[in-house]
Amino acid sequence: MDELRKQIEQATGTIRRKWNHQARIGLILGTGLGRIVEQIEQAAEFPFESLPHFCQSTATGHIGKLVCGQVKNVNLIAMQGRFHFYEGYTLQQITFPVRVMKAMGIDLLIVTSASGGMDPAHRPGQLIVIDDHINLMGDNPLAGFNDEQLGPRFPDMSQPYDADLIETALRLARERNIPAQRGVYVGVKGPNYETRAEYRFFRTIGGDVVGMSTVPETLVAVHAGLRVLGLSTVTNVCLPDALEPTTGEDVIEVASRAADNMAVVIEGIIEEEARRLQANPLP
Ligand code: HPA
Which of these ranges, 67-71, 87-91, 125-129, 252-256, has the smallest mean pLDDT?
252-256
Identify the residue with better confidence: 74 or 37: 74
CATH number of 3-279: 3.40.50.1580
State the greatest distance between any 2 C-alpha atoms of the chain, in Å, as a whole number: 56
Check whether 62 has a pLDDT greater than 60: no
pLDDT, one tens digit per residue, over 117-132 is 999 999 999 999 999 9
Give per-residue burial for 132-160: e unless 16+ CB within 10 Å, then b. bbbbbbeeebbeeebeeebbeeeeeeeeb
pLDDT at 121: 96
Domain extents for the chain?
3-279
pLDDT at 161: 98
Closest CA to 111 of 182, 216, 193: 216
CA angle 128, 238, 114 (to 5 degrees): 40
| Angle (deg, nearest 10), helices 91-103 and 3-18 | 50
pLDDT at 39: 86
**Confidence band, pLDDT 50/70/90 cuts, at residue 30:** confident
Identify the residue with better confidence: 38 or 117: 117
Q: Please, what is the average pLDDT of the chain?
A: 93
Pocket of ligand 1 (CB under 6 A): 114-116, 193-194, 210-212, 235-236, 238, 246, 251
CA 60–ligand 1 middle distance (angstroms): 14
pLDDT at 229: 98
CA 100–ligand 1 middle distance (angstroms): 27
Atom of ligand 1 nearest to the CA of 194: 1
**DSSP-assigned beta bridge partners for residue 128:** 181, 232
User: Considering the chain, what percentage of its residues have pLDDT values greater than 70?
Assistant: 94
